[in-house]
Chain A
Amino acid sequence: MSILRKRLNEFDDALNAEEIDLINLKRLCFHGIPDEGGLRPLCWKLLLNYLPSTRASWSETLTRKRTLYKTFIEDLIVTPGEANSDGERVDVTLHDHPLNLNPDSKWQTYFKDNEVLLQIDKDVRRLCPDISFFQQGTDYPRKEIVNASGQRRLHHRVQHTVLRSANVERKGLGVTKIAVSVRKATEDYAPLAEGGEAHWEVLERILFLYAKLNPGQGYVQGMNEIVGPIYHAFACDPDQTWREHAEADTFFCFTNLMSEIRDFFIKSLDEAEFGINSMMSKLTTQVKVNDSEVWMRLHQQELCPQYYSFRWLTLLLSQEFPLPDVMRIWDSLFADENRFSFLIHICCAMILLLRDQLLVGDFATNVKLLQNFPSVDIQIVLSKAAALAGKNLNSP
Chain B
Amino acid sequence: MAKKTYDLLFKLLLIGDSGVGKTCILFRFSDDAFSTTFISTIGIDFKIKTVELRGKKIKLQIWDTAGQERFHTITTSYYRGAMGIMLVYDITNEKTFENIVKWLRNIDEHANEDVEKMILGNKSDMEDKRVVSTERGEAIAREHGIRFMETSAKANINIDRAFSELAEAILEKTHGKEPQDAPDRVTVDRRVERNSNRCC
Contact = CB atoms under 8 A, between A and B. Distances in A.
Nearest to A364: B48
Interface in B3-55: 18-19, 36-40, 42-48
Nearest to B93: A160
Contacts of B72: 267
Given A127-B39, A162-B131, A221-B67, 6 more contacts: A119-B18, A160-B92, A222-B42, A265-B70, A266-B70, A364-B48
Interface residues of A, number: 36
B17 to A, nearest CB: 9
Contacts of A127: 39
Contacts, number: 82
B112 interface: no
A183 interface: yes
A160 B129 contact: yes
A164 B130 CA distance: 11
B68 interface: yes
A130 B36 CA distance: 11
A6 B124 CA distance: 60
A122 B67 CA distance: 12
A126 B43 contact: no
Contacts of B42: 221-222, 225, 310-311, 314-315, 319
Interface of B: 1-2, 18-19, 36-40, 42-48, 59, 61, 66-74, 77, 92-93, 95, 128-129, 131
B43 A314 contact: yes
Interface of A: 118-119, 122-123, 126-130, 160, 162, 164, 181, 183, 188, 220-222, 224-225, 265-267, 270, 306-307, 310-311, 314-315, 319, 362, 364, 367-368, 371
19 contacts: A122-B19, A160-B93, A160-B129, A162-B129, A162-B131, A183-B128, A188-B37, A221-B18, A221-B67, A221-B68, A224-B40, A225-B39, A306-B74, A307-B43, A307-B44, A314-B43, A315-B42, A364-B61, A371-B45
Contacts of A188: 36-37
Given A160-B92, A310-B44, A221 B128 contact: no
Contacts of B71: 221
B43 A306 contact: yes
A200 to B, nearest CB: 13
A126 B128 contact: no
B46 A371 contact: yes
Contacts of B74: 306, 310
A306 B42 CA distance: 11
Nearest to B48: A364
Contacts of A222: 40, 42
Nearest to A188: B36
Given A160-B93, A221-B68, A311-B43, A306 B77 contact: yes
A222 B116 CA distance: 31
A129 B40 contact: no
Contact of B40 (A122, A130, A266, A371): A122
Nearest to A367: B46
Contacts of A371: 45-46
B129 A306 contact: no
Contacts of B39: 126-129, 225, 319
Contacts of A181: 128
The listed residue with most B CB atoms (<10 A of its CB), out of A127, A183, A221, is A221
A74 B68 CA distance: 29
A220 B70 contact: yes
B38 A126 contact: yes
A314 B71 CA distance: 11
Contacts of B66: 221
A127 B39 CA distance: 6
Contacts of B43: 306-307, 310-311, 314
Contacts of B1: 362
B73 A270 contact: yes
Contacts of B37: 126, 129-130, 188
Contacts of B61: 364
Nearest 6 A/B pairs, CB to CB? A129-B37, A310-B43, A122-B19, A311-B42, A221-B68, A220-B70
